[in-house]
Structure 1
Amino acid sequence: MSGPAREVDDALLRAWPLPAVEPDGDKESRGRVLVVAGSREMPGAAVLAGTAALRAGAGKLVIATPQSAAQTVAAGVPEARVIALPEASDGGPSFYGLPLLQALAGATAALLIGPGMIGRESTIEFTQVLLPVFKQCPVLLDALAMDCVHAVSRFAQPVILTPHAGEMAHLTGHVKEDLREQAIDVALRHSARWNAVVALKGAETAIATPDGRSWLHRLQAPGLGTSGSGDVLAGIVAGLAARGAAPEQAAAWGVALHARAGEALARRHGQVGYLARELGAEVPALLHALERGG
């Protein structure tokens, strides 16, 4: 099904609507997101990602974070159930926490792993063990969790990866500057290789599927290059997936909503200086406007 990349613009999004919100539905009908994120050094990443998932319309949120970060995360996201995971010596999650998450597998509509996590080895190992447990739902790998591609090589389930150019260079061995110039080709090649939807982030974000479909989103928004912005994007995509969007649709809509949130803040505050924590609050109105055709 390969062909030229389609432009992600308002017309495409309106012709590709998200799963409808049931008028008489409740939080269960919009799906539960499980966010495995954060660390003693970066508890805020779990807060940003989890909040963004709710802003994208997910119905329920569970955040699993290392024990040293749990109290901070719980205070930052009072809407979430927070699970304190035992920590490995490097600050990542320990296998002793696995039973706490296994119990959630059947009721989880989307899983996000990675934002703000530390401890490369323990994070990779924990991610590898979680993947087959959550094989029934889309899984988004972000930040350090993406490093498991070196161990897994090819995924056996729906997985979304959201690397920026520097992360993609680390994952593939390509030169960072070449990735920007060949974003679509690189995303397509590695999407097929990994059996994953790949959203290669940048001023031009390339989104590719293993069967050869691709999309391109263009936006010059320097303010989005700020700490925590990628955590928000990952949360938005996970929230949309929990609502029932296919992985490629969740990625395309998530990239577009994240970019438009940056545009809205830039109009009010200037090109740079707005904060990642402010992005999520823009998303509900942007969703409403796109769904109404406004």
Structure 2
Amino acid sequence: MKETAITTDLLRGLPLPQPAEDGDKDQRGRVLVVGGSLAVPGAVLLAATAALRAGAGKLQIATCQSIALHLGLAVPEALVVGLPETGAGEIDPEAAPLLRERIARCDAALIGPGMIDEEGAATLTASILTCDPGPAFVLDAGALGQLKDLRGVLARHGGRMVVTPHAGEMANLIGISKSAVLSNPAEIAGGTARLLSCVVALKGAHTYIASPDGERWSYSDGDVGLATSGSGDTLAGIIAGLLARGVPPAQAAQWGVFLHGEAGNRLARARGRLGFLARELLAEIPSIMAGFDQPVPEVGT
């Protein structure tokens, strides 16, 4: 099956929902970002800020108790919840019941950025996903490790889930080599979407998005400068913010990948192809979205 290219023309036909002029932040949705560790506290900061830059109205961050205060100061727009942590400085999987309660009051949740203990992250993710269906999810990084063992749990959520692996994470997820993923990424993304009953965004120089019903899209217009530390965290956060606004999962993945790529293109033109930082992508997102609100110029004008 041929993939549909993600372009500005495609996205103009899939406009993002806009709040009423007299609307409040509740209209733009509430998002919870779960992640971080003592070793990698910045990943959750990047992802959470990206969710706000994508237009979410309310932000909560749930992270290890020892870094919660620091993140609260770094992201003053967020409500930050300090969770019990393990001796290794990771979120304790026993925190799952508290997180399920919070997620039930949110429109979207992102799990995984900055969680580096794969076994602990997998246990926490599995327990969180036993929540009642309703909120949309993005699963990234540490949350991806053992999803193939949770197919029944994932199916309960009715496709309201986006997973965002790179090639190495995809290989680990489905039990094949990274080279096998890279040799046939479109088919791998499509098969995994069906297997897990969720939208898959397989990240790379050429990103492939697939939905459980067999539709596929691709994006290849990003710049090599996006291959930098923290870039994937920003993408996951953008998608989570769009989901909180009420954007359907496949559309949120398409928009998220495009916004992320175009932000990199703008920085590449302004600063050079290499050396811009993942955190610098974030400030570009609102103006890119705003550009879609402008009328399309007529030919010859």
TM-score range, shorter chain: over 0.9
Aligned to 1:176: 178
Aligned to 2:7: 9
State the identity %.
Answer: 47
1:62 to 60, 63, 72: 60
Q: Using the TM superposition, name which of 3-12 and 231-240 deviates more.
A: 3-12
CA shift for structure 1 position 167: 1.2
TM-score, length-normalised on structure 2?
A: 0.93
Note if 1:103 corresponds to 2:93: no
Give the alignment of 1:241-252 within 5 angstroms: 241-252=243-254
CA shift for structure 1 position 210: 0.7
The count of corresponding residues between Structure 1 and Structure 2 is: 292
1:141 to 139, 142, 156: 139
1:87-123 deviation digits (Å, cap 9, x = unpaired): 1234332244334323323320000000001222221
Gaps spanning 5+ residues in structure 2: where?
297-301
- Does structure 2 conserve the Cα–Cα contact (< 8 Å) formed by 1:90 and 1:118? no
1:199-243 deviation digits (Å, cap 9, x = unpaired): 001111100011101101112511101110000000000000000
Aligned to 2:77: 79
**Distance change in 2, residues 1:175/1:120 (3 Å):** closer
Q: Which amino acid aligns with 1:56?
A: A
**Distance change in 2, residues 1:141/1:293 (3 Å):** farther
Aligned to 2:208: 206
- Does structure 1 conserve the Cα–Cα contact (< 8 Å) formed by 2:148 and 2:174? no
Q: Which amino acid aligns with 1:112?
A: L
Gaps spanning 5+ residues in structure 1: where?
none
Q: Distance in 2 between matches of 1:164 and 1:185?
A: 15
Q: Which amino acid aligns with 2:47?
A: A
- Does structure 2 conserve the Cα–Cα contact (< 8 Å) formed by 1:47 and 1:77? yes
Secondary structure, counterpart of 2:145 in structure 1? helix
CA-atom RMSD, angstroms?
A: 1.5
Give the alignment of 1:97-246 within 5 angstroms: 97-133=95-131, 135-154=133-152, 155=154, 156-157=156-157, 158-246=160-248
CA shift for structure 1 position 21: 2.3
Q: Distance in 2 between matches of 1:291 and 1:128?
A: 39
Aligned to 2:87: 89
- Does structure 2 conserve the Cα–Cα contact (< 8 Å) formed by 1:14 and 1:293? no
TM-score, length-normalised on structure 1?
A: 0.95
Q: Which amino acid aligns with 1:170?
A: N
Aligned to 1:36: 34
- Does structure 2 conserve the Cα–Cα contact (< 8 Å) formed by 1:45 and 1:116? yes
